[in-house]
Amino acid sequence: MQITSNSSYTIGSGYSIKLNDKEMLVVEDDPQSKSLFEARKAQKEKEQELEKSKAKEKASNPHELSQEQKEQVKELASRDAEVKAHEAAHQAAAGGLAGAASYTYQQGPDGKMYAIGGEVPISAPSSSSPQAALENARKVIAAATAPGEPSSQDMAVASSATMMQVKAQQQLAQKSQEETKGLETYKTIGNNLDKQEEDKLSLDISA
């Protein structure tokens, strides 16, 4: 490009170059160009602020969401209801053995928080009798399998409680056998004493 005297060429934002009277290249302010640049810059910033404002409003207003985002919100809402119903079923079946439910949340495109996972702590206290242990085991099994679709963790808890149930049943059976054996022993001793009394009576009569 050939630069001639009194020619002006824009080289950036708000500045231009030209040859001065001594044919020397200088860089100086170009008020007109600089003013145009500032106006464009202000307009661009205004547009960016407007875009941010629209994005924020869109996030807080589900009606302004895209179809894909609306589908995502629908899925999250469905999952939230499913998770809370699942944990509520655990709590209802466990009774006093269940603690408070805790949830894992995810924020949706609409800015709301949705539960996508949850858990309910269930504790079976150590029991002083096999009968109490058996009742607790049954409650835990009922609580773990209460939801319509128990998770793998639910089934693992139910399996552990089933083992506890079997152990308690074995203890009860053993206790029952011991009681039956003790009763039979008592009867045998009683029968022997009665026979001794009869023998003694016979001896007394004979004498």
Residues 197 and 130 reside in one and the same domain: yes
Total number of domains constituting the chain: 3
Q: Which domain holds residue 33?
A: 9-60
CB of 116 closer than 8 Å to CB of 104: yes
pLDDT tens digits for 47-98? 888 877 766 665 555 567 889 999 999 999 999 999 999 999 999 998 888 8
Total-model pTM: 0.53
Instruction: Tell whether 33 is covered by a domain.
Output: yes
Beta strands in 2-59 (DSSP E): 9-10, 15-19, 25-29
- pLDDT at residue 105, rounded to an integer: 95
Same domain, 72 and 107: yes
Are both 95 and 138 inside the same structural domain?
Answer: no
User: Within this chain, do residues 130 and 207 fall inside the same structural domain, yes or no?
Assistant: yes
- pLDDT given for residue 190 in this prediction: 54
Specify whether 135 is located in the same domain as 188. Answer: yes
Q: d(Cα 23, Cα 32) in Å, to the nearest integer?
A: 23
The tally of CA atoms less than 13 A away on the side-chain side of residue 190 is: 6
CA distance 168 to 135: 9
67 and 47 within one domain: no
State whether 130 and 201 are in the same domain: yes
**Angle, alpha carbons 145-168-101 (nearest 5°):** 35
Residue 21 lies in a domain: yes
Is 89 contained in some domain? Answer: yes
List the pLDDT tens digit at each of the 207 positions of the chain: 333 344 333 344 444 444 445 444 444 455 565 566 677 778 878 888 887 776 666 555 556 788 999 999 999 999 999 999 999 999 999 888 888 899 999 999 999 999 999 998 887 777 678 888 888 888 888 988 998 888 888 898 888 889 988 988 898 888 888 878 766 665 665 555 555 555 554 445 444
Q: Quick check: helix, strand or coil at residue 195? A: helix
Do 166 and 185 fall into the same domain? yes
Report if residue 4 sits inside a domain: no
Across the chain, which distance is largest between two alpha carbons, in Å?
166
On whether both 140 and 154 belong to a single domain, the answer is yes
Of 88, 106, 123, the last residue of a domain is 123
Which of 123, 139, 158 is where one domain is finished? Answer: 123
Tell me what pLDDT residue 86 has: 93
Collapsing DSSP states into helix, strand and coil, what is residue 207? Answer: coil
Supply the pLDDT for residue 7.
38
Tell me whether residue 86 is in a domain.
yes
**What is the C-alpha to C-alpha distance for residues 99 and 95, in angstroms, rounded to an integer?**
9
- pLDDT, residue 85, reads 93
Q: Which two tokens stand for residue 16?
A: 């231009």
* Same structural domain, 17 and 91: no
Domain boundary among 83, 106, 123: 123
